[in-house]
A and B are shown apart, each in its own frame.
Chain A
Amino acid sequence: MRLSLANKLSFLYASLIYLFLYMPIAILILYSFNQSKLNAVWTGFTFDWYLKLMQNTEVLEAMKTSLVVALISTIAATMIGTLAAVGMYRYQFRGKTALDAMLYLPIVIPEIVMGISLLALFSQFEIPLGYLTLIAAHITFSIPFVVVVVRARMAGFDRSIEEAAMDLGATPWGTFIKVTVPIIAPGILASALLAFTLSIDDVIISFFVAGPSSSTLPLKIFSMVKFGVSPEINALSTLMLVVTLFLVIIAERIRMRKN
Chain B
Amino acid sequence: MSGLMVKLQHLVKQFGTQTVVQDLSLDIEKGEFLTLLGPSGCGKTTTLRMIAGFEQPTSGEIMLDGQYVHNLAAYQRDVNTVFQSYALFPHLTAYDNVAFGLRVKKVPKQEIEKRVKDALRLVQLEDYARRKPDQLSGGQRQRIAIARALVNNPKVLLLDEPLGALDQKLRKQMQVELKHLQKQLGITFVFVTHDQEEALTMSDRIGVMNQGFLEQVGTPAEIYERPSTKFVAGFIGETNLLHGTVRTRDHQHLLVECEGVQVKAPSANVAENESVTIAIRPEKSVLSLEPSHNEQLVQLNGRLTERIYCGGSTRTIVTLHSGQTFVALEKTDQLLPAAVGDELFVQWQPNHGVVVTR
Residues on A with C-beta less than 8 A from B148 are 164, 168
15 A-B pairs besides A161-B88, A164-B88, A167-B74 with CB distance below 8 A are A160-B83, A160-B85, A164-B81, A164-B148, A166-B74, A166-B75, A167-B79, A167-B81, A168-B80, A170-B100, A170-B104, A172-B75, A175-B75, A183-B90, A183-B91
State whether A179 and B87 are in contact (beta carbons under 8 Å apart), knowing that A167-B52, A168-B80 are contacts in the complex: no
CA distance A24 to B88 in the complex (A): 49
Residues on B with C-beta less than 8 A from A183 are 89-91
CA distance A178 to B148 in the complex (A): 16
Residues on B with C-beta less than 8 A from A258 are 91
From the candidates A161, A167, A179, name the one contacting B75 in the complex (CB within 8 A): A167
Contact with B along A154-197 (1 / 0, CB 8 A): 00001011011111111110110011001100000000000000
* A162 shortest CB reach to chain B, Å: 9
**Chain B interface size range:** 20 to 34
User: Which 10 pairs of residues, A with B, have the shortest CB-CB distance?
Assistant: A168-B101, A164-B87, A160-B87, A166-B75, A169-B104, A166-B74, A182-B91, A167-B81, A161-B87, A170-B104
Task: Report whether B85 and A158 are in contact in the complex, using a CB–CB cutoff of 8 Å.
Answer: yes
Most A C-beta atoms less than 10 A away, residue of B85, B87, B105, B152: B87
Q: Nearest residue in B to A185 (C-beta to C-beta)?
A: B91
* B23 shortest CB reach to chain A, Å: 26
Tally of chain A residues near chain B (CB < 8 A): 20
From the candidates B89, B90, B91, B101, name the one contacting A169 in the complex (CB within 8 A): B101
Most A C-beta atoms less than 10 A away, residue of B79, B81, B149: B81
Q: List 17 A-B contacts (CB under 8 A).
A: A158-B87, A160-B83, A161-B88, A164-B83, A164-B88, A164-B89, A164-B148, A165-B89, A166-B75, A167-B52, A167-B79, A168-B100, A168-B104, A168-B149, A168-B152, A182-B91, A183-B91
Residues on B with C-beta less than 8 A from A179 are 89, 91
Task: Report whether A174 and B54 are in contact in the complex, using a CB–CB cutoff of 8 Å.
Answer: no
Task: Report whether A170 and B75 are in contact in the complex, using a CB–CB cutoff of 8 Å.
Answer: yes
Q: Does B73 contact A (CB under 8 A)?
A: yes
Q: Nearest residue in A to B79 (C-beta to C-beta)?
A: A167
Q: Interface majority SS on A: helix, strand, loop or mixed?
A: helix
Residues on B with C-beta less than 8 A from A167 are 52, 54, 74-75, 79-81, 149
Residues on A with C-beta less than 8 A from B80 are 167-168
State whether A166 and B89 are in contact (beta carbons under 8 Å apart), knowing that A160-B83, A174-B104 are contacts in the complex: no
Which B residues form the contact surface with A (CB < 8 A)?
52, 54, 73-75, 79-81, 83-85, 87-91, 100-101, 104-105, 148-149, 152
CA distance A44 to B148 in the complex (A): 67
Q: Nearest residue in A to B90 (C-beta to C-beta)?
A: A183
From the candidates A161, A170, A172, name the one contacting B90 in the complex (CB within 8 A): A161
State whether A163 and B101 are in contact (beta carbons under 8 Å apart), knowing that A168-B152, A169-B75, A169-B152 are contacts in the complex: no
CA distance A175 to B267 in the complex (A): 58
Most A C-beta atoms less than 10 A away, residue of B75, B79, B80, B83: B75
Residues on A with C-beta less than 8 A from B85 are 158, 160
* B112 shortest CB reach to chain A, Å: 13
CA distance A193 to B24 in the complex (A): 52
Residues on B with C-beta less than 8 A from A163 are 52, 54, 74, 81, 83, 87
Residues on B with C-beta less than 8 A from A164 are 81, 83, 87-89, 148
CA distance A170 to B148 in the complex (A): 14
Residues on A with C-beta less than 8 A from B83 are 160, 163-164
From the candidates B73, B88, B149, B152, name the one contacting A166 in the complex (CB within 8 A): B73
CA distance A208 to B336 in the complex (A): 96
Residues on B with C-beta less than 8 A from A168 are 75, 80, 100-101, 104, 148-149, 152
* B277 shortest CB reach to chain A, Å: 40
Q: Nearest residue in B to A258 (C-beta to C-beta)?
A: B91
CA distance A164 to B105 in the complex (A): 15
CA distance A258 to B80 in the complex (A): 28
Most B C-beta atoms less than 10 A away, residue of A158, A165, A168, A182: A168
Q: Nearest residue in B to A160 (C-beta to C-beta)?
A: B87
* A222 shortest CB reach to chain B, Å: 43
* A195 shortest CB reach to chain B, Å: 23
CA distance A217 to B75 in the complex (A): 50
CA distance A88 to B79 in the complex (A): 29
CA distance A158 to B88 in the complex (A): 10
Q: Nearest residue in A to B75 (C-beta to C-beta)?
A: A166
